[in-house]
Amino acid sequence: MAKDLAPDFKVTVADRSEGALARMNEAGLPTRTADLSRPEGVKAAVADADLVVGAMPGFMGFATAKAVLEAGKPLVDISFFDEDCFELDALAKAQNLTAIVDCGIAPGCHNIIVGDLSRQWDRITSFECLVGGLPVIRTWPYEYKAGFSPIDVIEEYTRPSRYVKDGKVVVFPALSEPELLDFPGLGTLESFNTDGLRSLIKSFPSVPDMKEKTLRYPGHIEKMRMLRESGFFSKEPIQVGGAEIRPLDLTTALLFPMWFMQEGDEDFTVMRVVVEGEKGGQKLRKEFNLLDRYDRTTRTTSMARTTGYTCTAAVRLLAKGGYSRKGISPPEFVGQEPGAWDFIREDLAKHGVVFTES
């Protein structure tokens, strides 16, 4: 994201990791060392910014967004935080600020699509999104590598999944309702429930059926369920050999070295969004498909491309005055702005991230 924005803006990268900042310096980007675990550190880091892009682990995302807004700065954020984003709406409006949250590939693009169609159609009757990011090479035992913050991947496997059926919010455990599905050029993948609808549940209470499911290689669900049900993802401390540890800390110490994307690891992102509705008495159905792959020229992962370029497109949209709604804006609000989805879709296409529509 920083590299993509640098030709058009003066970009500064703030982080506590000297290694991460060194990589940014090598790319010619200004950096500053900052402790972003404290509101004071966040506010100091953004003091001279015109706009802030948030890319924090989910467990830090809400507090960081709040600190940015308290500092009087507009925000575009991709942090996958658990808290209700609308709890920050009054603060953003009081500061007369625009804050776009959840602005990645999913949540992100599928929200924008729903927002755009809600503007054009009389009624949306159903929405389904299937999405996943996977390594090209399947390596035993997990056949998975994390294209984004690994701790947020585990959140997907533990956070209860909400979807809407027959007009009612239904809650299921994560990793439930597995289905095997075939995708052109990829073969068979398995889907399962995750809490991906997020703000859509509040934004579109009149849509009777909405669901989002994550995609992995077949067999991954059972491995993650085994770890979860055995307590390996628990945050409650236990006594082991006279020491107190959280099982999650041990699990991440063992798991993450196997999950981190290494330099040159190739991945792909697959997404299928199906929206049904009505306009002028006619029933309508639109399907959007995306299959994006690792960019060998720039050595950029697909998950970084699809998530990051959605976020930077939203930054450009804000900077050009294409979106100005004050307060907290989940991506579906952006989609409701005429021309916003076209702008973001075209910006993504310039980077080779292409949605097909039927």
Note down pLDDT in tens along the chain; length 358 residues.
999 999 999 999 999 999 999 999 999 999 999 999 999 999 999 999 999 999 998 889 999 999 999 999 999 999 988 899 999 999 999 999 999 999 999 999 999 999 999 999 999 999 999 999 999 999 999 999 886 677 888 888 999 999 999 999 999 999 999 999 999 989 999 999 998 899 999 999 999 999 999 999 999 999 999 999 999 999 999 999 999 999 999 999 998 888 888 888 999 999 999 999 999 999 999 999 999 999 999 999 999 999 999 999 999 999 999 999 999 999 999 999 999 999 999 999 999 999 999 9
Asked if 119 and 261 sit in the same domain, the reply is: yes
Domain count, the chain: 2
Residue 220 DSSP class: H
User: How are beta strands 209-216 and 187-193 bridged, if at all?
Assistant: antiparallel
Among the candidates 300, 324, 349, a domain finishes at: 300
Asked if 132 and 232 sit in the same domain, the reply is: yes
Domain that holds residue 116: 110-300
Strands (E), 138-281: 161-165, 168-172, 179-183, 187-193, 209-216, 238-240, 243-245, 267-279
Asked if 146 and 173 sit in the same domain, the reply is: yes
Q: What is the pLDDT of residue 148?
A: 67
Asked if 98 and 114 sit in the same domain, the reply is: no
CA distance 129 to 169: 16
Q: Which residue has the tokens 């990793």?
A: 175
Asked if 40 and 120 sit in the same domain, the reply is: no
Asked if 84 and 190 sit in the same domain, the reply is: no
Asked if 85 and 125 sit in the same domain, the reply is: no
Residue 227 DSSP class: H
CATH number at residue 205: 3.30.360.10
Q: Is pTM beyond 0.85 here?
A: yes
Residue 260 DSSP class: B
**Measured torsion, CA atoms of residues 333, 83, 64, 332, in degrees rounded to the nearest 10:** -10
Please tell me whether the peptide bond between 107 and the residue prior to it is cis, using omega within 30 degrees of 0.
yes
